[in-house]
């Protein structure tokens, strides 16, 4: 998903990104990212599941090959993207295993160009609580007031709960 946003006095671009899940194909993600970057000079936000980490500190349990992170870092640098910043639990993905088999990582993120950060200097990504999925939902907030109100959670009823004992 890639589209333009026209606001009163701002125009910018947002891309919803999903990186290839298989390591052997991950280079296609970075090639796509580079192609997308060249399509516009507007301030750009790229948000989604990149299926990769930038640094080894973004993974808990297990390890990642340095070349994988290097390839992602090189694409991010070439595209002029910077991490928007985040709040909440660091790891947005959890494989659901217990003990030594548990793997957690920060593969869901928001990155943008410096020009986009200039438009939204208080923007940040909120990693919400993971409930049913192996990924935590993410929410992008644009200003301080919205970030302050994100802590409050509305109750939502899910029909599937009727079938769950607990």
Q: What is the pLDDT of residues 17-57, one digit of tens each?
A: 999 999 999 999 999 999 999 999 999 999 999 999 999 99
Kindly tell me the number of DSSP H helices and DSSP E strands found in the chain.
4, 11
Please list, in sequence order, all residues whose beta carbon lies within 8 angstroms of the beta carbon of residue 114, skipping any fewer than 6 positions away.
80, 82
Q: Would you state the pLDDT for residue 143?
A: 76
Spatial separation of the C-alpha atoms in residues 5 and 15, rounded to whole Å: 11
Q: What digits encode the pLDDT tens for the residues 99-140?
A: 888 899 998 999 999 999 999 999 999 988 777 778 888 899
Q: Would you state the pLDDT for residue 8?
A: 85
Q: Give the percent of the chain with pLDDT over 90.
A: 58
Taking the domains of the chain in order of start, what are their residue ranges? 2-163
| Residue 134 contacts residue 95 (beta carbons within 8 Å) | yes
pTM for the whole thing? 0.82
The stretch 82-88 carries a mean pLDDT of: 91
Spatial separation of the C-alpha atoms in residues 123 and 118, rounded to whole Å: 10
Q: Would you state the pLDDT for residue 133?
A: 79
Task: Please check whether the domain covering 2-163 is classified as CATH 3.60.10.10.
Answer: yes
Above 60 in pLDDT, residue 149?
A: no
Phi, psi of 78 (to 5 degrees): -60, -35
Spatial separation of the C-alpha atoms in residues 135 and 95, rounded to whole Å: 9
């Amino acid at each position: 998903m890639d589209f333009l946003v026209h606001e009163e006095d701002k125009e910018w671009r947002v891309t919803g990104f999903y990186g290839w899940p298989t390591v052997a194909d991950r280079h296609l993600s970075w090639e796509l990212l580079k192609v997308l970057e060249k399509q516009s000079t507007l301030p750009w936000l790229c948000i989604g599941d990149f299926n990769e980490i930038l640094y080894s500190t973004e993974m808990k349990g297990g390890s990642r090959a340095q070349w994988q992170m290097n390839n992602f870092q090189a694409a991010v640098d070439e595209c002029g993207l910077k991490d928007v910043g985040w709040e909440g639990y660091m790891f947005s993905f959890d494989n659901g295993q217990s003990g030594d088999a548990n793997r957690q990582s920060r593969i869901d993120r928001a990155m943008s160009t410096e020009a986009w950060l200039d438009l939204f200097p208080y923007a940040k990504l909120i990693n919400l609580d993971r409930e049913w999925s192996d990924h935590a939902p993410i929410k992008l907030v644009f200003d301080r007031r919205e970030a302050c109100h994100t802590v409050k959670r509305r109750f939502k009823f899910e029909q599937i709960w009727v079938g769950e004992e607990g």
